[in-house]
Chains A and B, each alone.
Chain A
Amino acid sequence: MSDARRLQIEKLNKFYGPVHAVKDLSITVEPGEFLVLLGPSGCGKTTALRMVAGLETVSAGSIRLGDDDVTHVLPKYRDVAMVFQSYALYPHKTVAENIGFPLKVRGVSPAERDAAVRDAAGQVHMETYLDRYPRQLSGGQRQRVALARAIVRRPSAFLMDEPLSNLDAKLRGHMRAELKHMQHELGVTTIYVTHDQIEAMTLAHRVAIMSDGVLQQLGPPREVYNNPANLFVAGFMGSPPMNFVHGEINNGRFRSDGVDLALSDANAPSGAAVLGFRPEDAAVGPAGEGRFDGGVYASELTGDQTLVTVALGDETTLAVKMPKDYETEYDSVVSVQFPANSAFLFDADSGARLSTGLKG
């Protein structure tokens, strides 16, 4: 399949009365690319997707699919297929009728439709359920039918609105892999909305992270993870998320309660700042041998590793991932160590990443 098309979103805006739900969103999704829109609920990602689908009007900006401007085109003429969080299967139609519905309304002949339905059902391993009704299917099977209905007419783009969030955890992992495989096979331009960063990391060619209607960062998952553009992205990605120490930059040093570290840029502008580092990049050791010391607040064995929580002052707790055989005493004083190149500094007010890092 090679009729995948480029999807260009430019300066997209959405107002609900005084509420500015999506602000100047510009993303270009390349043909065949799997783009994940990631963000907490209420960040505008679903609204953005619904505008691309044509289910919401566009307040300002434009949407282009291939060479066509579809900004004000009715959904039925957009040639995009959507998978809903709720599956949205037609309860009074059988699986075959559900999958064949997009072809039926386009006037495809019954014989041709039947072949296409069998083909699509085969792609999602549902060919033996064609005569069932949605109520006779499990959650995972319903999800497959919804997918088959989306792929049956070979759309120019797929839109998926949290399609896996109604499945239980085990099934979700399985469907995630299938979804990735299917998108790769079909090579359809896809926008996938989720609040689950694991889904975003595993599925996406590129991730677009949104907050309060604003695009925070757009890039491959690895880059977004390793090189967060701001405090929000750093705090949203990762499980547990990045550790933050609030403090101040003064005379080329970062200072906080019990923390005093030299910066790589001795002339860094002074002001409130936040130091961030990831749990897996850090290690705890004997007191006095790391970047700063703290008290052991909790130690949890999760199976493949031990998660140590270190208290720094009264308000800050930091998570550190240690090997599974690591053991420590509660309330004992330990040091926290991490390499300079995995430490990030952010402006405390704007959240923007600072150009300086830690020294050595």
Chain B
Amino acid sequence: MEQHQRRSLLTRLFEPPSIGVMAPGTSLIVYGLLAFWTAFVLFPIYWVLITSFKDALTVNTGPFYLPWVDFKPGLHAWRELFQIDYEDTLSAFLNSIIIALASTALCVLVGSMAAYALARMEYRPKFGLIFLFVLIMVGAAAAVGFLGQDWRLAFAVALALFVLLARAVGRYFKRAVGNGDILFWMISQRILPPVVTVVPVYMMFQAVGLLDTHAALIIAYAVVNLPIVVWLMHDFFATIPIDLEESAQLDGASRLTTFFEIVLPLAKTGLAATTLLTLILAWNEYLLAIFLSTTRAQTMPILVAAMNAGERGILWWNMSVVIIVMIIPVVLMAIVLQRFISKGILVGAVKG
């Protein structure tokens, strides 16, 4: 008892009362650090929020931190974007929603099917045939570029030539690549900095007359995000016991039925996470958007950037309003998809 009394305040503060319970001092430090981190993370959002209620004078003479105390908040920025310029804001908002949702849907559908194929079927394309294909296609591109051939004709001839050659000499090629190589090739598409590919992408969409359309951005985003979807979903599919799919086949299900009835529901955790990631990537994309859209297909990130470059200087207050409007749908989507990201879907599938 006496010993207990003699222990220093510090010892008592940092000695846990029992296992699994934090000592008062420890919990003070832990919660203090957590509170600091929370403030650190939330501050930019808070700052954007209050900035959206400031006027030019308040921003430029600032910094002011507390509304009603430091400065008098006003709705003029909100009014400007939702009453005066509401057509621009609304159109960018709708463009962003359409493009993000459509490209994500396309990308996740195609990507998860490709990922499933790579997870469950074996591909052994011959190395020599891939080389031959690339060679012939480069030849066709050269014919179009330097000799001014019609591109449709050039590529049709090239394709025919490839099929003929493949049938004639294909069996002499021995070395083949496997699923792992295909998967790596997929992700390698993201190794190059996107800015390198922007100009050719621009020219391609120009050639097919899709510049400044929703279709251009939907296609571009779906293609750009496809490797990520394939890569992630491949891992999720690989964890599903193959017995379930074999059983479904014997039960009379086709490959497609098996995929939609058995495999996808079991991969919904991964599907939700992948969808959210793809959605955010498409929602926030700037580089391709600025090249492929001018007015009609303009997205929110472009709108934000535009406020940086007007003759009125940087419109922090307007920018803040647009940023808040941009954040809300993503947060809502995350809350919706969160419910699917739960564990334990596979419990009871095979042996327990």
Q: Which of A's residues lie within 8 Å of B, judged by CB?
A: 53-55, 74-76, 78, 80-82, 84-92, 101-102, 105-106, 133-137, 139, 142, 149, 153, 166
Q: What's the minimum C-beta distance from A240 to chain B, rounded to whole angstroms?
A: 29
Q: Would A88 and B247 be within 8 Å (CB), given that A135-B348, A139-B351, A166-B351 are in contact?
A: yes
Residues of A within 8 A of B257 (CB): 105
- CB within 8 Å for A91 and B346 given contacts A139-B351, A142-B352: yes
Closest-by-CB residue of A relative to B344 is: A135
On whether the beta carbons of A86 and B351 are closer than 8 Å, the reply is: yes
Ranked nearest first, the 3 interchain pairs of A and B with the lowest CB-CB distance are A135-B348, A86-B350, A134-B348
Q: Which residues of A contact B254 (CB under 8 A)?
A: 76, 105
Contacts of B352 in A (CB 8 A): 135, 139, 142
Q: How many Å from the CB of A94 to the closest CB on chain B?
A: 11
Q: Contacts A88-B241, A90-B262; is A142 near B250 (CB within 8 Å)? A: no
* Given A86-B351, A92-B266, 8 more pairs with CB closer than 8 A: A54-B250, A76-B250, A80-B250, A82-B246, A85-B351, A86-B243, A91-B348, A105-B254
Given known pairs A76-B254, A105-B257, the reply for A88 and B249 (CB within 8 Å) is no
Instruction: Supply 23 A–B pairs (Cβ within 8 Å), ascending by A.
Output: A53-B250, A54-B249, A55-B246, A55-B249, A75-B246, A84-B243, A88-B241, A88-B247, A88-B349, A88-B350, A89-B348, A89-B350, A90-B248, A91-B347, A92-B265, A101-B261, A105-B248, A105-B252, A134-B349, A137-B348, A139-B351, A142-B348, A142-B352
Whether the Cβ atoms of A90 and B252 lie closer than 8 Å is no
Contact code string B19-36 (vs A, CB < 8 Å = 1, else 0): 000000000000000000
CB of B142 within 8 Å of the partner chain: no
Q: Which residues of A contact B163 (CB under 8 A)?
A: none
Residue B253 at the chain A interface, CB threshold 8 Å: yes
Chain A at the B interface: mostly helix, strand, loop or mixed?
loop
Q: Of the candidates A86, A87, A135, A149, which one forms a contact with B251 in the assembled complex, judged by CB atoms under 8 Å apart?
A: A149
Contact A91 B349 (CB under 8 A): yes
In the complex, which residue of chain A has the Cβ closest to the Cβ of B241? A86
A53 to B266, CA, bound (A): 24
Q: List, in ascending order, chain A residues with CB within 8 A of B250's CB.
A: 53-55, 75-76, 78, 80-82
Give complex CA distance A86, B265 in Å: 19
In the complex, how many angstroms separate the beta carbon of A48 from the nearest chain B beta carbon?
16
Is B244 positioned at the interface, with any CB of A under 8 Å from its CB? Answer: yes
The yes or no answer to B333 lying at the interface (CB within 8 A) is: no
CB of B345 within 8 Å of the partner chain:
yes
What is the size, in residues, of chain B's interface with A at 8 Å between Cβ atoms? 26
**Which chain A residues border B253 with CB–CB below 8 Å?**
76, 101, 105
Given contacts A91-B345, A135-B352, contact A101 B248 (CB under 8 A): yes
Residues of B within 8 A of A133 (CB): 348
Among B244, B247, B254, B346, the one with the most A-chain Cβ atoms within 10 Å of its Cβ is: B247
A91–B266 contact, CB under 8 A?
A: yes
CB atoms of A87 and B350 under 8 A apart: yes
Given known contacts A86-B243, A90-B262, A105-B257, A136 and B348 CB-to-CB distance under 8 angstroms: yes
B131–chain A nearest beta-carbon distance, Å: 26
A142-B350 Cα distance, complex, nearest whole Å: 9
| B246, closest chain A residue (CB) | A55
CA distance A55 to B120 in the complex (A): 13
Chain B residues whose CB sits within 8 angstroms of the CB of A53 once the complex forms: 246, 250
Query: Could you tell me the distance between the alpha carbons of A86 and B349 in the complex, rounded to whole angstroms?
Result: 8
Evaluate contact between B249 and A75: CB separation under 8 angstroms. yes
A133–B352 Cα distance when bound, in Å, is 13
Asked if B252 and A88 make an inter-chain contact with CB atoms under 8 angstroms apart, the answer reads: no
Chain A hits for B244, CB < 8 A: 88, 90
Knowing A76-B252, A87-B350, A101-B251, the reply to whether A92 touches B243 (Cβ < 8 A) is no
Contacts of A88 in B (CB 8 A): 241, 243-244, 246-247, 349-350
Most chain B beta-carbon contacts within 10 A, residue among A53, A55, A106: A55
From residue A57, how far is it (CB to closest CB) to chain B in Å?
A: 12
CB distance from A46 to the nearest CB of B (A): 12
Question: Taking the nearest CB of chain A, how far is it from the CB of B208, in angstroms?
Answer: 40
Tell which of B246, B261, B266 touches A84, judged by Cβ atoms closer than 8 Å. B246
A87 to B244, CA, bound (A): 9
* Cα of A37 to Cα of B247 in the assembled complex, Å: 20
Closest to A81 in B: B250
Are A102 and B251 closer than 8 Å at their CB atoms? Answer: yes
Q: How far is the CB of B64 from chain A (nearest CB, A)?
A: 54
Q: Give chain B nearest CB distance to A98 CB in angstroms.
A: 10
Alpha-carbon separation in the docked complex, A136 to B257 (Å): 26
Residues of B within 8 A of A136 (CB): 348
Contacts of A82 in B (CB 8 A): 246-247, 250
CB-CB nearest in chain B for A137:
B348
Closest CB-CB distance, A104 to chain B, in whole Å? 8
Q: Across the interface, which residues of A come within 8 angstroms of B246, CB to CB?
A: 53, 55, 75, 82, 84, 88
Contacts of A137 in B (CB 8 A): 348
Residue of B nearest to A82 (CB): B250
Which of the residues A80, A90, A139 comes within 8 Å of B349, measured between beta carbons?
A: A90
Nearest-neighbour CB distance to chain A for B239, whole angstroms, equals 13
CA–CA, A166 and B349, complex, Å: 13
Bound state CA distance, A52 and B349, in angstroms?
24
C-alpha spacing A137/B350, complex, angstroms:
12
Q: Is the CB of A87 within 8 A of B252?
A: no
Q: Tell me the complex Cα distance, A142–B246, Å.
A: 17
A102 to B249, CA, bound (A): 9
Q: Which residue of A lies closest to B251 (CB)?
A: A102
- Residues in A neighbouring B251, C-beta threshold 8 A: 76, 81, 101-102, 105, 149
